[in-house]
Every structure is written in structure tokens, then in C-alpha cells.
Amino acid sequence: MGKESSLINKALLEELMELRHFLHAHPEVSGNEKRTAAALIDFIRPVSGAEMVSRVGGYGFLVVFDSGIPGPFLAFRADMDALDIQETVDRPYRSVHTGISHACGHDGHSAILAGVARRMDDHPLKKGKVALVFQPSEENGEGAQRMLEDKKMREFSPDFCYALHNLPGFPLHRVVIRKDVFTAYAKSLLVFLKGKTSHAAEPEYGVNPAATMALLLHAAGKFTRNRPADPDFTVITPVYARLGEKAYGVSAGYGEVHYTLRTWTEERMDETARLFQHLVKKQAEEEGLTAETAWKYTFFPTLNHPDAVEHIARAARSAGLAVTEPDEPFKWGEDFGMFTRRFRGAMFGLGSGENTPALHNPDYDFPDALLTTGISIFTELLKNHGLI
């Protein structure tokens, strides 16, 4: 741990931990973050000079600090939503909602950004402005686009945008950065196959999609090139399949298969999607089936601008924190990719412990020790850009 431990006083740290524990105990899934947003707004409201812009793209909101003096415009983003995962560890602030938990650490991300807001009274801007973006619906890949398309963000055009994500498997407080692709392009493909039911004793009078489904499930492996070091990295993972109903006298006439597709680039994704959908159509036609496809949960690749990465590295060094630059991007998707698609920016990771449960695990809990670490990086970024 570096110099960040002295960044905030004990009273504020206790408030931040209490806030984080409240958010953890009252998780809300994508599109339902009403109570989460309200708790964060109440925590930030005492800060002087803050302009609150609420109900942006749903329950998202902005906290804007504007010096009124020309200078850089920075944006810091945190996500707020939780997951449909049952928490398994009995802790004092365990989720009160059955089947929902903060298994990705968004409670910690939001608490960090709320802490940045509360410390702005101690660090008034010398020039420029900063927008703290509290984003809903990150987990389904919809929140960033909804916020950016909201008329309340019509004037939103930051010079740089930054975000963090906690990373189990890395040493606690370790700053993880890399240029170019930080997280994968990921989206989900839904395939629907319609045939004709028949009596199970007479399948020849129907059109059962089972054989086509089996072929398409097997084809996912043939398309996959799970070599992260290669530019043509591609992973197609079947995540759900359904065939007919549990009616043992009926040969199924309907089936569906769902996949997630992951690549490093949009070009590779477009080519893979085109070829796989062509295969779906071809196989369906050969078997006398009607095929329909749909896309959902799109996460554009997070593309880290080299200048933004350098600012993060400088911020980490100023805070006395160690830095790791992984050779390969992370294979999971992140909705912050919508921001880096439009603006210069970067996402960085904060190590949450080498033995910490993985993200999306039912026993995951964001480490409170990272609250001051995250605040320190954002504060140093403000300094690096000359705002404070």
C-alpha cells in the first residue's frame, strides 16, 4: 500500500465503508438501481459546488464540478448495478435480496467515486471541470449507451474519461494497466430454430431441429481460437440450449441455442458473426428448418488510449503504488467500452487480492481496503491534468 492511506480522514473512511456496506446489503440489478442512486446522491449532496444531474439514461446520474475557468474536461465513471447471484457468505452486511448480490464489486466502485466527490471540498478546481458519472445497467451492456444518448448529456464531451475495475487474482492495491485493448468485444447471439412437431414414434413426419442444434453446438468449438496473444482471438461459448418440451410422445419441432462471442476487435467480431450466422442459415435450410437470430448484451472493446494510460501510470507512481502491465487483454466484456469508443480514455484495474474469490462468484466481496486506493488514483489524475 502506498501513500494513499493518509488521503482521507478516519471519519470519512468510516462513512465510505458504511455506504459501501449499505449498497452491498441492498443490491439492485440492471435497470432497477433506484435505491442505489438515491443512497449515493444523499451521500454526495453535502458537497458544495456540485451540480447534480439525475435520471440520466435510467437511474444514472452525474455530479459535475466546473471551475468556470478554461481547462481540461475529465470524466470519471463508476457502475452501480448488481447481479442475479445468490450470496453464500454470511456477513453482517449480506444481501437482503434473495438471488441478488454485488458479486462484481460495483458497490465498491460507486463508493470510491462518491468518496472522490466528498473530497472535492478539500480540492477545489483551479481550472477545467470534472464529471463523475454513476452508470446504471453495466452488466447487461445497455447503461452507457442510454446515458450517452440522453439529451441531458448532449454537451458531454470530455477530453479524457477514466474508470476502474477491481481485479481478483492480483496483489491487493496493484494498479493494472495496458495500452490498446483492455477488455474484449463481447456480445450474445440467440439462435431460434423452427421445424414441425410429430409423434415421437413417427419422427419422419416432422422436422426436428436436434441434429442441427448438435452441429451448431459443435461448430462453436471449430470457430474458437482461444489464444489471447493472437490478433484473431475468438471464443464462441454455448451458454444455453433448449429443445422442444418434456413431452415424451412428441418429437420436438422447436429449438434454440444461445452463445457468447468474444474477440479483441470490432473487425474480427463482424467477420465471425457473419460467418457463424451464414452457417446457421445454411444448416437450417438443409434440414428444412426456419432459422432466426437475435443479438443482445453488446459490450464494445475497452480501448485504452496511450496518453490516458500514461496519466494513470503517473498517478499510480505519485500514489506510491506498484503497476502491472499484462501482456494480454481481459476476456470479459465491460460497458465502459462505449465511452472509449467515443472519447479518449482508459480503464485500469485495482488488484483485490491474489486469493480473493473471482468476480461473479457467490462468495465475492469488494475489499474495503481499496476505497482509499481508488480515491487516490482519481485524485492524482486530477493533479496530473492540472485541475487541482
Q: Residue 19: what are its φ and ψ, rounded to 5°?
A: -60, -45
Q: 160-167 and 345-351: which strand pairing?
A: parallel
Concatenated DSSP letters for 141-183?
T-HHHHHHTSGGGTT---SEEEEEEEETTS-TT-EE--SEEEE
* Run means of pLDDT, 10 residues per run, the chain, 388 residues: 63 97 99 99 95 98 98 99 96 97 98 97 94 98 98 97 99 98 98 98 98 98 96 97 97 98 98 98 98 98 99 98 98 98 99 97 97 98 97
- For the chain, the farthest-separated pair of C-alpha atoms sits apart, in whole angstroms, at 80
Q: Which residues contact 245 (CB under 8 A, 6 or more apart)?
A: 252
Q: Which domains are assigned to the chain? A: 3-183+301-384 (3.40.630.10), 185-298 (3.30.70.360)
Can you give the pLDDT at residue 45?
95
Are 365 and 24 in contact, with CB atoms under 8 Å apart? Answer: yes
> Does the model's pTM come out above 0.85?
yes
CA distances from 296 to 60, 77, 271 (A): 21, 23, 17
Can you give the pLDDT at residue 6?
54
How many residues can be counted in the chain? 388
Q: Residue 343: what are its φ and ψ, rounded to 5°?
A: -130, 155
Are 311 and 72 in contact, with CB atoms under 8 Å apart? Answer: no
Q: Which residues contact 144 (CB under 8 A, 6 or more apart)?
A: 135, 138, 335, 336, 337, 338, 339
Can you give the pLDDT at residue 7?
65
- The rounded distance, in Å, linking the Cα atoms of 93 and 363 is 13
